[in-house]
Structure 1
Amino acid sequence: MALSRVRIYRVFSIFFCTLLLFTWSTATMAYSDIDGHWAEEAVRRWRDEYGMLPGVEGRFRPTAEVTRAEVAMLLDRLFCYPEAAVMPFTDVPEDAVYAGAVARLAAAGVLLGDGEYAHPMDTITREQAVTLLARAFGFDLNLAGSAADTYVDADSISDWAYDAVSLMTAKGYMQGNENRFQPKSTITRAEMITIFDNIFGQVYSTGGVYSEYQYRSVVVNADAPVLLRNMTIRGDLYIAHNVTNPVTLDDVVVQGEVRNFSGAEILRFSALSEPTPPQDSILYASRQIPVVDGLARNPYRGEQFYQDERGYMRYDTAHYDTMVGVDVSAWQKDIDWDLVAEQGIDYAMIRVGNRGYTEGGLKLDDYFTQNIEGALDAGLPVGVYFFSQAISAEEAREEARFVLDAIRDYELSFPVVFDWEPVSSDDARTKGLSAETLSAAAVAFCEEVEAAGYTPMIYYNLHMAYLRYDLSVIDGYDVWLAQYAELPEYYYDFQMWQYTSDGTVPGIPGAVDLNISFVNYAKDA
């Protein structure tokens, strides 16, 4: 019997990544129970593109609790683990569809089980899932930190899961509900596929040449050569265990880690390595500011910034689809948007309004309607921002709802921005606001915006970043950096840079803020 099991696992392993779609024959069937479900988009993408977590008899069963075996199959399909000589568990039938996956993950040290038992059909708990994923992703749990302590139910997290929960929380891969992690709770199939969708932006399962901006991590598990060209990957790059052909990175920036699980050669050409070198602290305002672990560093090279013939800031690289924009408010008064659109301006950020810094009332910008309609009519992609003076998360949510109500009849493609700035006045209601409260307010605003289907963003300058915000709390949201300088000196990554408040653009009276966006949000909308 032992010999036959060895042969089964070896043969099945060799062809698993190719045959799994056939084995999971329902992967290509249309599901009758996900139309209108909150996870519909993620489910369809992972089914249609990657053949993951199939349903049964045309039903995906999004609310069903996911089992340990199903998670093992997901990870095995994604990372294509090498063959396993033996099955170490006595409760896994030889002919079970998940047997090969369980054996391979066990051999790789990912699925440890409980002695001789894998408990494959048990529903997986949140802390079990997090631990399994952390091992599969190759994370060093010695660097986990203590982010798990931020949950009010941290004491109920098992000791063996604490480091994994901390690390996955710090990376933004797992979140609690009302600041509770609920470690012993189970996970539904919809929730599990959404976790994968939030972590991975693309899985390259076929050989070829690929060039596209990736906001999340990327997996290469193709059995043919893969060339990634002119690409920025804002997460990690994973080379799956089965890859034997070279993976070529031609002018590729990986802002996370390159995690090569295979013996495949990685060839690099003209790669932008580390424009901002790692360091332990940042000198700002005569202070040494500790570096926040886990935050992506500034990837931009100073020598690639230049001014074009109109005097606009540009960035010379194929990595970023850069755009030049203006941000405006009632201060600019009447704007000729058709003329602005003829001046090489690619997008506009328009102020929706503000909260009063003493009485706290919400006010619509006097020129908001005129500006947003004028910019859209001129064919410009538009985003908006709100000048916040929130002193609590609830006030920030109120501001977000105010903004969402104002923009509901307009088509936005650029972000909706939380712009909180200190006011130099003894009457300012925000005076003395803590970093904890401010950061919670920013997150609350962004959560409301994201839930409504828009891209959230946070605006700040160096002072706000280094001295006012808790960057570990607001990490994960796009950043609009304000620094009026020839080059951006911010240590961490950002997606938009307001580089001057003294720009001139025909069609806009007086001075105007000029910006460069390193992301073409209109293209990705």
Structure 2
Amino acid sequence: MKTIKKLAALCLCVLLAINMNTAVYAGVLDDIIGDKPVENTEDVEDTEVEDASYDTENVTESINTAIDAEPAKTSVSFSDIGSHWAKKWIENAYDLGFVSGYKDGTFKPDNPVTRAEFSTMLNKAIQIEITEKINFSDVSDKNWFYNEIKKSVAAGFFSGYENNTFRPDNPITRQEVSKVVSGAITTGNIDGEGATLLKDYNTIQEWAKESVNTVYNKGYILGYPDKTYMPSKALTRGEAVKIIFEIVDNENIEYGFNITNYNETYSSAVVVGNLNVLDSVGNGNVYIKNVVVLGDIVISAKNVNSVVLTDVKARNIIVESENNPVKIVYNDNVTIANS
């Protein structure tokens, strides 16, 4: 019986060793199999077996928890960004999964970024999934960026050139990026003079000036220390990462959204996917203000009185019920791409 007692005690100590330090379980061993006589052997054996079973379950649970736990993600360390001004944004962007480096371990932060590359970065960061047919003469379904350009066109970020080209390998300029970014952010209630006080403001193309002022006022694309904007300068990879990361970090991004209450205002959001006006709004009014919908506004409510839009951008407005007499009110700054 004494031999059995010692074996049971040793088993218990092995189990305890997993969760206790050596000094502690050594003391337990001395207490159990030391020189002191045990008067009630049966009671001790029962207690030891019960305790051993309990500890085994705890150890098993601890091991399973350790196996199931997801390891913490660590930032990559590119060999050429150690002292670069964009280092923290590059590492954060890598952790979010919308950029990667080169096979030689570099990031090349000062290299120009192409239109196809910027399209891909922005799509991945905001998680664009919708696509639209494209027929650009210089984009083939064999190109690595084919699906990304389909997504960018569907989201309204890019539209191509008048001669039906996209020019995917061209470096994207700062004024072009301003135009693209302005389509991915909320733009209502913005105050400021924009880039108008910069020395080279008059060199910005007319089609880009409104967008340049918008992104300048929101702080996404500012001027250089010499008070210039350099609108025709190619954007660098470091600049692209900073701009996109700050959009993701600062905009209120929703992934699909359902409006279910009437006479309330849904405002200040970027909706990735569709914004749905559901039947639960009844026969009240729906107000949508300062919202970018990277998809469609879908009105399935059968009896809604009106949908009032202010500072809204969307791809389409779709009224699902043919018999729905819904009134759509367009206030200031409403852009529906396919209206």
Q: 2:165 aligns with which of 83, 92, 117?
A: 117
Give the Cα–Cα distance (whole angstroms) in 2 for the partners of residues 146 and 131 of structure 1: 17
Deviations 1:254-294 (A, max 9, x none): xx9554545799xxxxxxxxxxxxxxxxxxxxxxxxxxxxx
Q: How does 1:321-336 map to 2 (within 5 A)?
A: none
- Counterpart of 2:97? 51
Amino acid at match of 1:110: F
SS in structure 1 of the partner of residue 196 of structure 2? helix
Give the Cα–Cα distance (whole angstroms) in 2 for the partners of residues 144 and 117 of structure 1: 35
Amino acid at match of 1:153: D
Question: 1:83 Cα deviation (Å)?
Answer: 3.6
Deviations 1:440-487 (A, max 9, x none): xxxxxxxxxxxxxxxxxxxxxxxxxxxxxxxxxxxxxxxxxxxxxxxx
Question: 1:110 Cα deviation (Å)?
Answer: 2.1
Question: 1:138 Cα deviation (Å)?
Answer: 5.4
- Counterpart of 1:170? 217
Deviations 1:464-517 (A, max 9, x none): xxxxxxxxxxxxxxxxxxxxxxxxxxxxxxxxxxxxxxxxxxxxxxxxxxxxxx
SS in structure 2 of the partner of residue 174 of structure 1? coil
Change (3 A) 1:147 1:30: closer
SS in structure 2 of the partner of residue 148 of structure 1? coil
SS in structure 2 of the partner of residue 113 of structure 1? coil
Question: 1:137 Cα deviation (Å)?
Answer: 2.5
- Counterpart of 2:251? 217
Give the Cα–Cα distance (whole angstroms) in 2 for the partners of residues 259 and 87 of structure 1: 22
- Counterpart of 2:81? 34
Change (3 A) 1:145 1:29: closer
SS in structure 2 of the partner of residue 44 of structure 1? helix
Change (3 A) 1:222 1:105: same
SS in structure 1 of the partner of residue 195 of structure 2? helix
Question: 1:147 Cα deviation (Å)?
Answer: 2.4
- Counterpart of 2:201? 154
Q: Does the alignment pair 1:63 with 2:110?
A: yes
Give the Cα–Cα distance (whole angstroms) in 2 for the partners of residues 131 and 144 of structure 1: 18
- Counterpart of 2:40? none
- Counterpart of 1:88? 135
TM-score with structure 1 setting the length? 0.34
Change (3 A) 1:155 1:264: closer
Q: How does 1:446-525 map to 2 (within 5 A)?
A: none
SS in structure 2 of the partner of residue 55 of structure 1? coil
Give the Cα–Cα distance (whole angstroms) in 1 for the partners of residues 291 and 208 of structure 2: 25
Amino acid at match of 2:166: A
Amino acid at match of 1:53: V
Structure with bigger gyration radius? 2
Give the Cα–Cα distance (whole angstroms) in 2 for the partners of residues 139 and 238 of structure 1: 10
Gaps of 5+ in 1: 1-26, 202-215, 226-234, 247-255, 266-525
Q: Does the alignment pair 1:101 with 2:148?
A: yes
- Counterpart of 2:235? 187
Amino acid at match of 2:251: S
Amino acid at match of 2:222: Q
CA contact (8 A) 2:136 2:166 kept: yes
SS in structure 1 of the partner of residue 158 of structure 2? coil
- Specify which structure has the bigger relative contact order, considering alpha-carbon pairs within 8 angstroms and separated by 6 or more residues: 2
Q: How does 1:276-291 map to 2 (within 5 A)?
A: none
Give the Cα–Cα distance (whole angstroms) in 2 for the partners of residues 243 and 59 of structure 1: 40
Give the Cα–Cα distance (whole angstroms) in 2 for the partners of residues 95 and 75 of structure 1: 21
CA contact (8 A) 1:82 1:242 kept: no
Question: 1:84 Cα deviation (Å)?
Answer: 3.0
Amino acid at match of 1:239: V
Give the Cα–Cα distance (whole angstroms) in 1 for the partners of residues 296 and 207 of structure 2: 30
Q: Does the alignment pair 1:241 with 2:276?
A: no
RMSD: 3.6
Give the Cα–Cα distance (whole angstroms) in 2 for the partners of residues 32 and 243 of structure 1: 43
Question: 1:105 Cα deviation (Å)?
Answer: 1.6
Give the Cα–Cα distance (whole angstroms) in 1 for the partners of residues 188 and 269 of structure 2: 16
Change (3 A) 1:67 1:166: same
Number of residue equivalences: 203
CA contact (8 A) 1:124 1:186 kept: yes
Q: Does the alignment pair 1:74 with 2:109?
A: no
SS in structure 2 of the partner of residue 196 of structure 1? helix
Question: 1:82 Cα deviation (Å)?
Answer: 4.5
Give the Cα–Cα distance (whole angstroms) in 2 for the partners of residues 42 and 222 of structure 1: 27
CA contact (8 A) 1:90 1:117 kept: yes
Amino acid at match of 1:118: F
Change (3 A) 1:104 1:200: closer
Amino acid at match of 2:240: M
Q: Percent identity?
A: 24
Q: Does the alignment pair 1:198 with 2:234?
A: no
Question: 1:186 Cα deviation (Å)?
Answer: 1.2
Question: 1:111 Cα deviation (Å)?
Answer: 0.5
Question: 1:240 Cα deviation (Å)?
Answer: 1.6
Question: 1:221 Cα deviation (Å)?
Answer: 4.5
TM-score with structure 2 setting the length? 0.52
Question: 1:169 Cα deviation (Å)?
Answer: 1.4
Change (3 A) 1:86 1:146: same
Give the Cα–Cα distance (whole angstroms) in 1 for the partners of residues 125 and 297 of structure 2: 17
Change (3 A) 1:107 1:197: closer
SS in structure 2 of the partner of residue 150 of structure 1? coil
Report which of the two has the higher share of strand.
1
Question: 1:172 Cα deviation (Å)?
Answer: 2.0
CA contact (8 A) 1:67 1:124 kept: yes
SS in structure 2 of the partner of residue 241 of structure 1? strand
Give the Cα–Cα distance (whole angstroms) in 1 for the partners of residues 94 and 172 of structure 2: 21
Give the Cα–Cα distance (whole angstroms) in 1 for the partners of residues 216 and 116 of structure 2: 24
CA contact (8 A) 1:78 1:240 kept: no
Give the Cα–Cα distance (whole angstroms) in 1 for the partners of residues 156 and 246 of structure 2: 24
